Amino acid sequence: MGKQKLSSKGVQNSGCTKATLWWFYLVAACIKVLLFPSYRSTDFEVHRNWLAVTHSLPLSQWYFDETSPWTLDYPPFFAHFEHFLSMFAHLIDPKIVHLQEGLNYSANTVVYFQRGTVILSDLCLLYGVYRLTRNLDSRKQKLIWLSAIWSPMLFIVDHVHFQYNGFLIGILLISLSYLEEGRDLLGGFFFAVLLCLKHLFAVAAPVYFVYLLRHYCRGGIGRGFTRLLIMGGMVAAVFAAAFGPFFHLGQIQVIRRLFPFGRGLCHAYWAPNFWVFYIMSDKGLAFILRRLGFNVQTPTATFTAGLVGDSSPFSVLPQVTPLVTFMMVLLALSPCLLKAWKDPKPQMISRWVAYAYTCGFLFGWHVHEKASLHFVIPLAIVAVQTLEDAKHYFLLSIVSCYSLFPLLFEAQEYPIKVLLLLLHLILMWSGFSAQFPDGAETARAPTGHHTEKKVDQHKSNGGFVIGWIERMYLVGLVIVEIWGQFLHPLLLGDKLAFAPLMLISIYCALGIMYSWIWQLTFIVKSP
């Protein structure tokens, strides 16, 4: 009894919450440290080169250096971030930041240092998650931490493959947390900072724009206009701080580096998005037409290579240009923008932003499969709100994690990626079924009352049980994996070596399309 009283909500809230959050972070950090010697992609060398570039060259040369093929192509704030890290790198081992001698340097010092910086920069994610969840009840908190801080996708992309997504998504979450609290100016500020760290996050800019315009700049024409000026001035100031010095030197080069539209529609491994279906139907149509006797030209350029040029990669269907993809993203976004315009609710902003990134992922130009992190992590934050959310997130997180499997293609990491996914799956399953034991529980969730009632009617006895279609889909995932790993090499050998990867792309694209439609319906139906 005494214990219960002692730890009743008021006393234990902040101190214990923080301790537990740190615990989650530190346990993850131990695993991340253990993963130090695992496979690392060329992104590792890319980032090492940026350390060298920013350390050894003056600001004016950052975007011009071509010593290594991995030139700096992130916005200026990220370059400054690398510059900051390079100061420590120099202390640890000067060779890391040496422009020529450091090329492809792979001693323990550089590996440990760079991997260590990723772990430390994850503190940003930790803070973002903390800000977003600090007022929730302790069970929901833990479930969110489980899925966001122990996200298997972050492990795969950041700590094995090597990138700084945890850091960047952390800033996105900080921005979202300010918006949810109604502190729009700070929310806008952090989003502007994020854009100057990695411009790929700009996909959500329309949502931010409409939301801030309607939520922050309201209250009559005079007040609204003043606020618009304040917000605009602040965003402009952030961008000026980032790009100003470069433009002052007369460098438009920065922009050219940031937007390499010369690249193809798809990345080397096709991200599981809408274009996969487009390409497949083009191939299919071409095949059928050829069979029917039409003269269909075989395209000379591939979809993935750098050059699009004059040659047409599609043989039957119309060409896709960056402008087309841009329009499609906007079109897909429009229902969400409309909602944000009509009723800019702070509780919905995370969903809207996640939806924006989903659209960008599905219809964007030259999308990386890693970009699915941008919407999976924000969706983790809202996954505990309703039972339907939980079911959707469960499926989505598994599919998008699986779609990252081809990133780690070496045999050594195979058990690790499979175990990460399985652990995530069972943790989510166990956590969600504890959170939603049966229909009655969902009624206590704070938002989205409308949907809950529907849920209650349909699945009053349900609890966290995923439907048979979803179940079949997940079983299909296992079959795709077994086919790609074992049966294909066994039955077909080296023939059609690209087929397993294509199969993964197509199959995961189905899941992501489903998630997109689900999110769209949710947003449209929300009151």
Q: What is the binding site for another protein (CB under 8 A)?
A: 3-4, 6-9, 12, 16, 19-20, 23, 26-27, 30-31, 33-38, 112, 137-139, 142-143, 146, 411-412, 415-416, 419-420, 422-423, 426-427, 430-431, 433-435, 437-438, 440-441, 461, 463
Q: What is the DSSP string of 339-402?
A: HHHH---GGGHHHHHHHHHHHHHHH-SSB-GGGGHHHHHHHHHHTTSSHHHHHHHHHHHHHHHH
Between 12 and 526, name the residue whose CB sits nearer to another protein. 12
CA torsion through residues 167, 171, 174, 179, sign: negative
In the bound state with another protein, the residue whose beta carbon lies nearer, of 37 and 467, is: 37
Closer to another protein by Cβ: residue 20 or 304? 20
Q: Based on DSSP, count helices (H) and strands (E) in the chain, helices before strands.
A: 23, 0
Q: How far is the CB of 440 from another protein (least distance, A)?
A: 8
Of the two residues 37 and 284, which places its CB atom closer to another protein in the complex? 37
Give the sign of the dihedral formed by CA 63, CA 64, CA 70, CA 73. Answer: positive
Nearest to 469 by CA among 359, 391, 405: 391
| CA 30 distance to own-chain centroid | 23
* Beta carbon of residue 13, minimum distance to another protein (angstroms, whole number): 9
Least CB distance to another protein at residue 15 (A): 10
Smaller CB distance to another protein: residue 168 or 416?
A: 416
- Considering only CA atoms, which of 36, 215, 221 is closest in space to residue 110? 36
Residue 411 CB, nearest distance to another protein (Å)?
Answer: 6
Q: Closest by alpha carbon to 401, among 144, 167, 156?
A: 156
Q: Which is nearer to another protein, 60 or 430 (CB)?
A: 430
Q: For 26-74, give the secondary structure using H, E and C.
A: HHHHHHHHHCCCCCCCHHHHHHHHHHHHHHHCCHHHCCCCCCCCCCCCC
* Coil, helix or strand at residue 266: strand
Residue 12 CB contacts under 8 Å (≥ 6 apart), including other chains: 6
* Closest to another protein by CB, 31 or 338: 31
Smallest gap from residue 297 Cβ to another protein (A): 43
Taking the least distance from each CB to another protein, the nearer of 8 and 297 is 8
Which of 186, 157, 162, 156 lies closest to 43 in space, CA to CA?
162
Report, in Å, the least distance between residue 125 CB and another protein.
19
- Give how far the C-alpha of residue 381 lies from the chain's centroid of Cα atoms, to the nearest Å: 13
> Least separation, in Å, of the C-beta of 37 and another protein?
5
State the minimum distance, in angstroms, from the CB of residue 452 to another protein. Answer: 17
* Percent of residues in the chain assigned helix, strand, coil, to nearest 5: 70, 0, 25
**Residue (185 or 422) nearer to another protein, CB:** 422
Closest CB to another protein among residues 289, 427 = 427
CA distance 317 to 286: 9
Minimum CB–partner distance for residue 432 and another protein (Å): 9
Q: Which of 127, 95, 129 is nearest to 114 (CA)?
A: 95
- Least distance in angstroms from the C-beta of 4 to another protein: 5
Residue 363's φ and ψ, nearest 5 degrees, are -115, 0
Distance separating alpha carbons of residues 355 and 337, to the nearest angstrom: 10
Q: How far apart are CA 409 and CA 318, in angstroms?
A: 33
